[in-house]
Structure 1
Amino acid sequence: MQRKVIIAGGGTGGHIFPAIAIANALKKIHPDTDILFVGAIGKMEMEKVPEAGYPIKGLEIAGFNRSNIFKNILLPFKIWKSLRQAKAILADFQPDAVVGVGGYASFPMLRRAQKNNIPTLIQEQNSFAGKTNKILGKKAKKICVAYDGMEKFFPADKIVITGNPVRNNITQSAATREDAMQHFGLNPEKQTIFAVGGSLGAKSINEALVPLLEKMVQQDIQLIWQTGKPFYETAKAAAAPYAEHIKVHQFINVMDLAYKAADVVLSRAGALAIAELCVVKKPVIFVPYPFAAEDHQTSNAMSLVNKKAGLIISDSEVRTQLDNVLFSLLQNRALMEQLEQNIGKLGNPNADMVIAKEVLSVI
């Protein structure tokens, strides 16, 4: 029998890439599975999902705007309209199951599916569940999570610990450290830092790195620096005198090579970044983005820090503390090895397949 599955959500790479990984895993198990994505009009998924080879329909939905209250005037209308659009999509596609991966489009699609008695599954990526997933969790058949202790948000009998899906080009990368060093034009004999702030860059991390560039070069340390678009020109100018040691990129497509090259990673604490770091087993200093909903990035990072699987600097203190934390870690071989071993225990390179099997089990 042919199975039909809707995957709803998106908004950031952190929601979209795991969703595509789940779709690919479903296709691997049953190649004839018919998959339709549903996203939010104007968001990144409308471009990324078709690039991955899947059809997508868009809902006119937005989230609550915390910075400009007046922009929320149309929100009830948008929610009502998106629920009507979701109803039409369900009537047209007639799925056997609907999967929510988080992001704006997740709520209307799953809410409507639950009303129509269509089985739903939630993939909750963070260690702190958002409000909408808590509401949807009451009627979902299964809730796939990546962290322990999630019964404070969801009914315990529905929770399955699966880990978060990671892109195949990272879990199945055959690249060596030598390949990576050659790609970035770096010296394999030297210690290397990889600084990454998500697809848009991280302002506080970027600004904290600028005054440390000279010290890195003096200590013969190399840096691969993904700056994001807004900071790229500033970083390029700051790194110009140190071109041999400091490699500045607006965006890196070959993340597997960047991870392979790194001795230490400096990163935000989004669920996708953490899932990747666990799989590639790298010592990491987290600087959580403080404005994420419910401050979930700090919660994500702390669940690793408490297991001695990472270090943390708060966003407000990164300018003053990065120098000390970063350079003392690079000199502490024993601590680097401990972090590497502990973070490696938390990785699940097969999370996509485990979740796909859970999806099929609710049909």
Structure 2
Amino acid sequence: MIAITGGGTGGHLAIAKALAQELHKRQIPCIYIGSLMGQDKMWFEHSDLFSAVYFLDSTGVVNKRGLAKLTALYRIYKAMRECRRIFARHNVRAVISVGGFSAAGASLATLGSTIKLFIHEQNAISGALNKILSPFATQVFGSFAFPSKNFYRCDYPVRAEFFAKARTRTEIRTILFLGGSQGARAINDLAIALAPSLLERGYRVIHQCGARDEERVREFYAHSGILERVELFAFSPTLIEFLSQSDVCISRAGAGSVWENCANGLPCFFIPYPFAAKDHQYYNALEFANANLAQVCRESSVDSEQILEFLDTLAPRITQVSQTLQGKISPHGAEIIISRILGETT
């Protein structure tokens, strides 16, 4: 039996789902161990990908102090003990950690046992838990380069629909402002500032603003007389449809987003979340900016003129950028990871 652990955020959970789908396709049973906190239950409580699912009382430790940190550590210790019982119950022989605080209990429970630990590091900068546990892992997988003897660089496990809906962009007609499931006020402000001039230029504007800021954004567009001309929505479970319709995306730079857009052939202007742990979103975006496949700008210094200049500069070379993005990633990330794990455990 294989256990998949980790989560908290959609980025971690999307990887867990992709790996579970690959195991399911091979008819290899697996279980999931997550947390009561975060989005874990929402994703997997009723999933048919797993033989069993467990949600433990654990929470993050980073950025906590004093009694709160001690309480978080004690919860992880209790989760670790519970995970050892779960491992015995299911005869677990390998644990795949996709990161996040949800992974702490099960990952730590492998130490001192015969159970092999495999880690997927999704970002360009390693998370705190992964950094601690990487020396003990049989293998660490990732799509950004890491100086580690047990590191294996592989394609990011992006869901098949992003490849299926991919296309080569040949001109800029549609601009997508994408703030993620929670929205991003800085990106919303940019969209508000830019939408009138983008519409004047003949561009179509799609704006995903998040539920918390929807009323403010909607009121601005209505007051400006352009509400009917902007495709505004809080969030959509079929976001891939909007991605596939777009020619340029202005977004944050979470690992899942940058690689999903890459798989789809969608050029991006990245505005990293400034409070991401260890500034990892900036370094995720830098992978593409250094290859001249995207532009990245700090939230504190971005303005409308930079976006317009980016569009003007991108337009003559958008076909080449879109094709190169699609060639940067293959749809076999999850397949490769699972094959290497099975090779180490059989």
TM-score w.r.t. length of structure 1: 0.87
Q: Which residue of 2 aligns with 1:268?
A: 252
- Partner Cα distance (1:198, 1:9) in 2: 20
My pick for the range that moved more, 110-119 or 326-335, is 326-335
Q: Is the 8 A contact 2:166 2:265 kept in 1?
A: no
Q: RMSD across aligned C-alpha pairs, in angstroms?
A: 2.1
After TM superposition, list the pairs within 5 Å mapping 1:213-252 onto structure 2.
213-240=195-222, 241-252=225-236
Pairing partner for 1:331 from 288, 295, 312: 312
Aligned to 2:8: 11
Aligned to 1:163: 155
CA distance in 2, matches of 1:16, 1:286: 22
Per-residue Cα deviation, 1:209-253 (whole angstroms, up to 9, x for no partner):
212222122222221111111111112222232134311111122
Taking the aligned partners of 1:304 and 1:197, their CA distance within structure 2 comes to 19
Rounded Cα–Cα distance in structure 2 between residues aligned with 1:25 and 1:232: 37
* 4+ residue runs over 6 A deviation: 174-177
C-alpha distance after superposition, 1:76-130 (max 9, x if no partner): 2212212112222112222121000001121221121132120111011111111
**Which amino acid is the alignment partner of residue 71 of structure 1?**
A
Task: Give the drift of 1:11.
Answer: 0.7
What is residue 40 of structure 1 aligned with on the other side?
35
Equivalent pair of 1:227/1:248 in contact (CA under 8 Å): yes
Mapped contact 2:165–2:264 kept (Cα < 8 A): no
CA–CA distance in 1 between the matches of 2:86 and 2:278? 31
Rounded to whole Å, the distance in 1 between the matches of 2:319 and 2:307 is 15
CA distance 1:305–1:175, change in 2 (3 Å): closer
| Equivalence for 1:182 | none
Cα distance between partner residues in 2 of 1:76 and 1:357:
34
| Structure 1 counterpart of 2:89, one-letter code | D
Q: How far has the Cα of 1:64 moved from its partner? A: 2.3
Quote the Cα distance in structure 2 between the aligned partners of 1:176 and 1:134: 37
Letter in 2 for 1:261: Q
1:50 aligned partner: 45
Cα offset, 1:68, TM superposition: 6.9
- Report deviation, 1:190: 7.7
User: SS at the partner of 2:221?
Assistant: helix
* Whole-angstrom CA distance in 2 between matches of 1:347 and 1:324: 31
Q: How many residue pairs end up in the alignment?
A: 339
Code of the residue aligned with 2:29 in structure 1: it is: D
Given residue 214 of structure 2, which amino acid in structure 1 is its aligned partner? Y
- What is the identity, as a one-letter code, of the residue corresponding to 1:224? I
Query: Counterparts of 1:86 and 1:10 in 2: how far apart (Å)?
Result: 16
Q: Rate the CA distance shift 1:174–1:194 in 2: closer, same or farther, 3 A.
A: closer
Amino acid at match of 1:61: S
Structure 1 equivalent of residue 183 of structure 2:
201
User: Would the alpha carbon gap of residues 106 and 67 (structure 1) be closer, same or farther in structure 2, given more than 3 Å must change?
Assistant: closer
Tell me if structure 2 keeps the 8 A contact 1:329–1:336: no
CA separation of 1:23 and 1:354: change in aligned 2, threshold 3 A: same
- Structure 1 gaps of 5+ residues are 178-188
Partner amino acid, structure 2, of 1:130: G
Q: Which amino acid in the other structure matches residue 239 of structure 1?
A: Y
1:172 aligns with 2:164: yes
Whole-angstrom CA distance in 1 between matches of 2:343 and 2:74: 35
1:126 equivalent in structure 2:
123
